[in-house]
Amino acid sequence: MTNSPNQSKDARRILALTVGAVGVVYGDIGTSPLYAFREALRPFAADGVGREEVVGLISLMIWTLTMIVTCKYVLFLLRADNDGEGGTLSLLALLMKKAPRYTTGMFVAGILGAALFIGDAMITPALSVLSAVEGLKLVTPTLHHYVLPISVAIMVLLFAVQSRGSGAVSSFFGPITLIWFFVMGAAGVAHVGDDLSILEAFNPIHAVTFLWNAGLVGFIVLGAVFLTVTGAEALYADLGHFGRTPIQAAWFAVVFPALALNYLGQGAMVLSHPEAISDPFFLMFPKWALLPIVILASAATIIASQSVITGAFSLVRQAIHLGFLPRFEICYTSETQTGQIYLPLVNSALLMGVLVLMFVFGSSESLAPAYGVSITGAMIIDTVLAFAFVRYLWNWSLLTATAFLLPLFLLELVFLGANLFKIHHGGYVPILFAGTLMALMWTWRKGVRLLREKTTRSEVPLNQFIAAIGRKSEHAPVLVPGTAIFLTATPDTTPAVLLNNIKHNHVLHQHNVVMSVKTARVPYVPEEDRYSLTRLSDRFSRLEVRFGFMDDQNVSRALARCRKEGFKFEIMTTSFYLGRRKLLADPNSDMPKWQDRLFMAMAGSATDPTAYFHLPANRVVELGEQVII
């Protein structure tokens, strides 16, 4: 029996996506062997590391990968999708739409998870690249002083090329990372024979015994053990780019075996050569291979960094479209792939954060304690939102949902507690990042709500305005030819820019369209559902244009589709009217003074609607007004 051409084509497509997933999805977790075992051994280094400690630590690492990555993310969370899209905000958007009792707690949990992920996008590049470049010290100790400058140069170059898009680079991600995993697995296999007793680590009893005997030190070491699963949240966030099957295939066929073999090899080598505790990963390789491995490791860490940077861009775009942040400039770097985007402001902020971390901490050893808090926090948020998901969308009973997710929640809570011990050693960094981002998102949501409440008081219902403007009067505005499109967020009320145009210019166009742009809580809106047009009178129509939170919000393109479907307008006789508000502080504002000023600063930094909605710049008219908030 032969395969049909379609089956062969599908198989090739899945294989290509699987290789791509190895590079993009697993780039971050693939760099964990550089530092995870080394950091876990550090508390035991002074007194010497015994066999029980090494076997127990490797057992903890393998079973942490099994429980959290394999069971929670690969087998479970990849099925909790929002029309094929994953990630914290995607899941939050789905719950906002579907959950019968959507609460403030869900919202807070969602933006906290998003904030922690963006914090991770600063720490990951700094820690990963420093860890890789530090391998130069083993090539020759004289390169010690060049580690930080080389790492900084790599970061500056990486962020500088973001504006060119990741499309050309991403085609190399999969093959290079595939080689990286193969080399890691091969190195592990080469050293497992150093002490075959390391294979006892597959027995979870050794992990439990280690924790029981190590006491408080063992609990603290859990923070370093958790470094083995850094980047696991990318599995979920990148679901829409690759699909469930390729991500699962990449994990079981390539990533998990390579990671497990490498950790086993590191453990066996330390058992037979205790002096290798200083840097077990790089010391697995012979002297002649160190420089090529450092270069390959640097390439792998750059790929890992690129993955979280791209993820941060996507997450911020989702936050903007869902109304959690003001509109920032979004540049699309591909004509065919809307997922390839570049946000200049976010790129600059990430670069500054990464450079500050590098200069403040100076080495991967100093920075590693800052890493675990953000990741454990983000994973706990995913578990909390997943509980709501299975209750409200899969209709699981309270007992079933609790029995399934409570053990994972408690396990992650233990890891979070272990990482909190490192607060004073750098663990405060992701907390500061997350707190700042949460304050920004909370301020923006609150400010927009207050602004809407204040402007609502002076609004005129659209049907009343149309009725009034239709009456003949000596003060009636002059009719002029052409079409005017008035953008508004409240389509049932008369846009302020329309009232101001009549008040100051005393004219009314022959055809007037009150247009609102809505973001649905689904990733993408099909073209056939993109718009709805309602005729209100001879001169007035209401147009609603809908986008998903992952869509490119290109209004001009949507209007071109409307024209094909019967909405008659000519672009050269159409004017787009936008209102521009100047916000003034109100001494009696419902927000504290600092938050009031922060909201006004955020509103002032928002990108121009003309550029954001891709409107023809030469057809846009802006009318300003002052609003006290």
Euclidean distance between CA atoms 194 and 339, whole angstroms: 46
The DSSP annotation for 328-358 comes to: ---EE--SS-TT-EE-HHHHHHHHHHHHHHH
- DSSP label at residue 589: -
Please name every residue paired with 514 in a beta bridge, in sequence order, or none if there are none. 486, 542
**Which tens digits make up the pLDDT trace of 35-67?**
899 888 888 776 777 888 899 999 999 999 999
Pick the closest to residue 60 from 227, 232, 272, 180 (CA basis): 227
Rounded average pLDDT over 589-598: 83
pLDDT at 553 over 90: no
**Which tens digits make up the pLDDT trace of 483-531?**
999 998 888 889 888 988 888 888 899 899 999 999 887 888 888 888 8
**Mean pLDDT over each residue of the chain, to the nearest integer:** 84
Indicate the range of 137-141, 327-331, 485-489 predicted with least confidence: 137-141
In CATH, what number does 12-446 get?
Answer: 1.20.1740
- Helices then strands, each counted (H, E), the chain: 25, 8
Rounded average pLDDT over 256-263: 96
Q: Which residue's structure tokens are 């004219």?
A: 507
**Which tens digits make up the pLDDT trace of 396-433?**
999 999 999 999 999 889 888 888 877 777 778 888 88
pLDDT of residue 587: 75
The answer to whether 342 and 162 are in contact (CB under 8 A) is yes
Percent composition of the chain: helix, strand, coil (DSSP 3-state, to 5): 70, 10, 20
pLDDT of residue 549: 82
Burial of 329 (0-12, 13-18, 19+ CB in 10 A): middle
pLDDT at 251 over 50: yes
Instruction: Among 72-86, 238-252, 259-273, 368-382, name the most confident range.
Output: 259-273
Rounded average pLDDT over 93-106: 76
pLDDT of residue 1: 46
Euclidean distance between CA atoms 65 and 281, whole angstroms: 18
Euclidean distance between CA atoms 303 and 23, whole angstroms: 7
Q: Three-class SS of residue 626?
A: strand
Instruction: Among 179-183, 277-281, 316-320, 332-336, name the most confident range.
Output: 179-183
**Which tens digits make up the pLDDT trace of 300-314?**
888 888 778 877 888
Model pTM? 0.80
Residue 544: band (very low, low, confident or very high) from pLDDT cuts 50, 70, 90: very high
> pLDDT > 90: what percent of the chain?
22
Domain coordinates in residue numbering, the chain: 12-446, 459-628
pLDDT at 266 over 90: yes
User: Can you give the C-alpha Rg of the chain in angstroms?
Assistant: 28
pLDDT of residue 335: 54
